[in-house]
Amino acid sequence: MNASQWLVKALLDEGVDTIFGYPGGAIMPFYDALHGSPLRHILVRHEQGAAFAANGYARASGRVGVCVATSGPGATNLITGIADAMLDSVPMVCITGQVPTGLMGTDAFQEVDVFGMTMPVVKHSFLVRRAEDLPSVLHEAFRLARNGRPGPVLIDLPKDVQIADASELPAYVPAVRMPLPAAGEAGLHAAVALMAHARQPVIYAGGGIVLGEAVDAFRVFAEAAQLPVVQTLKGLGSLPDEHPLNLGMLGMHGSRAANLAVQEADLLIVVGARFDDRATGRLDGFAPHARVIHLDADPAEIGKRRSADVAVLGELSTSLFRLTPAVGAQRHARNGSARAAWTATCCERAAEQAPRYDYPGPDIHAPAMLRELSQRAPAAVVCCDVGQHQMWVAQHWAFQHPRQHLSSGALGAMGFGLPAAIGAQLEDPSAQIICVSGDGSFLMNVQELATVARYQLPIKILLLDNQALGMVRQWQTLFFERRHSEIDLSDNPDFVALASAFGIAAHSVATQAGLGDAIDAWLAHDGPALLHVAIDAAAGVWPLVPPNRSNAEMLDGDADELAPLPLPEKHPSKTTAITEEIPDAIST
């Protein structure tokens, strides 16, 4: 047994059933070991597709995604997908071939320092110089990928190490996911005390809820608290879309109800969120009257962008369950009626300002189409590319759970959608997977249509075509005096013919009159299908918070609204010590 054969067996012992990759010279011994193995390898058509597919597999399941590439360009092509996993906390193990150890540092054919290149975008990098180190390296890679805050880990494997004798290597011991420590009593008591004083609190839900497998605990907490809830892009689905306390997404393209509630709040109960700049807008104008309770599993996020008056650091499910009886009891305490009135006001505002979908005229209105589609496919997992369509999906799709929404958040990587959909479909062949893409993003990884066709994955691709880089065009219209520089995509290919060339059923629709029948046929098709939808290039994503403005200064589609607006007065943060403790209100 050589080291490559040992590695294939160890991956199976780890519980890996699917890997995504593309072979080449420096990784060829590993591919030789794969031959005849029960480990399922998915041959993508570009290494970036492998990284995004492993990424989508991991996001959909919560398990570690695995991708493989050769040295040099194979390894560098993985980096965008690795960076996306790092910034969105996605567990991945990425294996790259490397030139033999004796040639390292000599500028050998297809040699790059992928160990060094990836260090800023991985939790850890390993360069394996001896076969004897492989058991400990693989165990540590999976442990690091899934424990604590998840993320990607790189294993760089020189070719001579891959073929080294492994007959004396010990059997692989799978890594175990270790539970996070529970929050300390002091933080929990301080949180309860601070909540007791609030009259207009808001719950601010982020992606850490699903990363920490805390969705059920969060829903119990929100129900007990009966407080308005706002969600980040990665937090969508933490409460079901139709839940009466759900005000929607906050931030640059958030709902008016969500942004105004945060701006008027006197307390933010932040659960697994990181105060991302797209969520906060201008930071010194964000929630100017609010004190902050920050619940998170990662100490690096506490106080990184906004100081926390109370930090509750630890495993989220436990923290939320411990706090739930207290917030339930506070509904009947001295501020209970004021809170109830505040919640009612926020929810009434959300109802009054809900999007309208009665779009006039014959053209297709993307928000209305996406809303209708989400109602027709309520259990679908949506893999979204980046651009205007991404924000329309976030605003108008009725998500029931965060794992239904796979989207490149912090990195904002175009080309994510189609390969991520491949990973999600292979993770659960019975799931309904919908890839929503734009004409710009789709062409970034269009070659993965070959992967969809090869494995006959029943992915449904919704392609919104405005013949432009729509988000860039919108910003150039608003903030660059309508100078539309290099955003014209009017020479797009015939997307229906393109999909058909890969053997994928495709149809095009341009008016509302034919849309319903086209969606029915597309969803009902037995196998992969593409629906090409022509939309207006001038259509924008609204509301929009301009750069360097507070979230209270939302635009609704009129560029003339861009006159300078004053920031709301920022109230100085109260620093008085919290002396009230309610130990009996915290569940043990």
38 lies in the same domain as 62: yes
Residue 478 has pLDDT above 90, yes or no: yes
11 lies in the same domain as 92: yes
CB 281 within 8 A of CB 251: yes
Residue at 550 is within a domain: no
Residue 574 has pLDDT above 80, yes or no: no
Among 5, 14, 47, 86, the active-site one is 47
Among 286, 471, 495, 553, the active-site one is 471
Q: Look at residue 334 in the predicted model and tell me its pLDDT.
A: 79
Residue 563 has pLDDT above 60, yes or no: no
Residue at 7 is within a domain: yes
CATH number assigned to the domain comprising residue 69: 3.40.50.970
CB 555 within 8 A of CB 544: yes
Q: Catalytic annotation on 98?
A: no
8 lies in the same domain as 101: yes
350 lies in the same domain as 407: no
Residue 68 has pLDDT above 50, yes or no: yes
Among 110, 353, 447, 467, the active-site one is 110
Residue 584 has pLDDT above 50, yes or no: no
* Segment 179-230, tens digit of pLDDT: 899 999 999 999 999 999 999 999 999 999 999 999 999 999 999 999 999 9
Among 109, 185, 348, 580, the active-site one is 109
Cis ω before 528 (30° cut-off from 0): no
Torsion from C-alpha of 538, 541, 542, 546, nearest 10 degrees: -100
Integer Cα distance of 550 and 284 in angstroms: 8
Q: Catalytic annotation on 117?
A: no
Residue at 153 is within a domain: yes
Residue 145 has pLDDT above 90, yes or no: yes
* Segment 249-277, tens digit of pLDDT: 999 999 999 999 999 999 999 999 999 99
Task: Give the strand order in the sheet containing 201-205.
Answer: 246-249, 229-231, 201-205, 267-271, 291-296, 310-313
154 lies in the same domain as 260: no
Q: Catalytic annotation on 159?
A: yes
Which residue bears the tokens 């000599």?
106
Integer Cα distance of 32 and 25 in angstroms: 11
Range 458-483 average pLDDT:
96
Q: Which residues of 485-518 are buried (b: 16+ CB within 10 A; e: fewer)?
A: eebebeebeebbebbeebebbbbbbbeeeebeeb
Give the strand pairing for 201-205 and 152-158: unpaired
Q: What's the sign of the alpha-carbon dihedral 276, 281, 283, 289?
A: negative
Residue 149 has pLDDT above 70, yes or no: yes
Residue 319 has pLDDT above 50, yes or no: yes
Among 9, 159, 234, 460, the active-site one is 159
CATH number assigned to the domain comprising residue 221: 3.40.50.1220
Contacts of 459 (CB under 8 A, 6+ apart): 418, 421, 422, 425, 433, 434, 435, 452, 528
Range 387-413 average pLDDT:
97
97 lies in the same domain as 191: no
Residue at 542 is within a domain: no
Q: Look at residue 494 in the predicted model and tell me its pLDDT.
A: 98
pLDDT band for 434, please (50, 70, 90 cuts): very high
Integer Cα distance of 306 and 404 in angstroms: 29
137 lies in the same domain as 193: no
Q: Look at residue 582 in the predicted model and tell me its pLDDT.
A: 41
Q: Look at residue 564 in the predicted model and tell me its pLDDT.
A: 36
Helix (H, G, I), strand (E, B) or coil at 382: strand
Residue 579 has pLDDT above 90, yes or no: no
374 lies in the same domain as 342: no
Mean pLDDT taken over the chain: 93
| Angle subtended by helix axes 3-13 and 134-146, to nearest 10 | 30
| Structure tokens belonging to residue 156 | 């760089």
Residue at 438 is within a domain: yes
Looking at per-residue pLDDT, the higher value among 562 and 284 belongs to 284
* Segment 101-121, tens digit of pLDDT: 999 999 999 999 999 999 999
246 lies in the same domain as 322: yes
Phi, psi of 14 (to 5 degrees): -70, -15
Q: Catalytic annotation on 126?
A: no
Residue at 174 is within a domain: no
Torsion from C-alpha of 103, 104, 107, 112, nearest 10 degrees: 140
AA letter at 380: A
Please tell me the total count of domains within the chain.
3
Range 417-430 average pLDDT:
98
Q: Catalytic annotation on 109?
A: yes
Residue 567 has pLDDT above 90, yes or no: no
- The whole domain housing 224 covers 185-355+571-580
Helix (H, G, I), strand (E, B) or coil at 547: coil
Range 148-166 average pLDDT:
97
CB 325 within 8 A of CB 585: yes
| Distances in whole angstroms, Cα of residue 53 to Cα of each of 145, 252, 341, 365, 408 | 16, 28, 46, 30, 12
Give residue 138's Cα distance to chain centre: 26
Integer Cα distance of 570 and 551 in angstroms: 13
pLDDT band for 586, please (50, 70, 90 cuts): low
Radius of gyration of the chain (CA): 25
312 lies in the same domain as 412: no
Residue at 539 is within a domain: no
pLDDT band for 558, please (50, 70, 90 cuts): low
Q: Look at residue 578 in the predicted model and tell me its pLDDT.
A: 37
Q: Look at residue 323 in the predicted model and tell me its pLDDT.
A: 97
Give the strand pairing for 381-384 and 405-407: parallel
| pTM for the predicted model, two decimal places | 0.94
**Cβ of 39: how many Cβ atoms within 10 Å?**
17
pLDDT band for 512, please (50, 70, 90 cuts): very high
Looking at per-residue pLDDT, the higher value among 359 and 491 belongs to 491
376 lies in the same domain as 285: no
Residue at 556 is within a domain: no
Helix (H, G, I), strand (E, B) or coil at 450: helix
238 lies in the same domain as 349: yes
CB 342 within 8 A of CB 200: yes
Range 483-500 average pLDDT:
97
Q: Look at residue 250 in the predicted model and tell me its pLDDT.
A: 98
Range 477-493 average pLDDT:
96
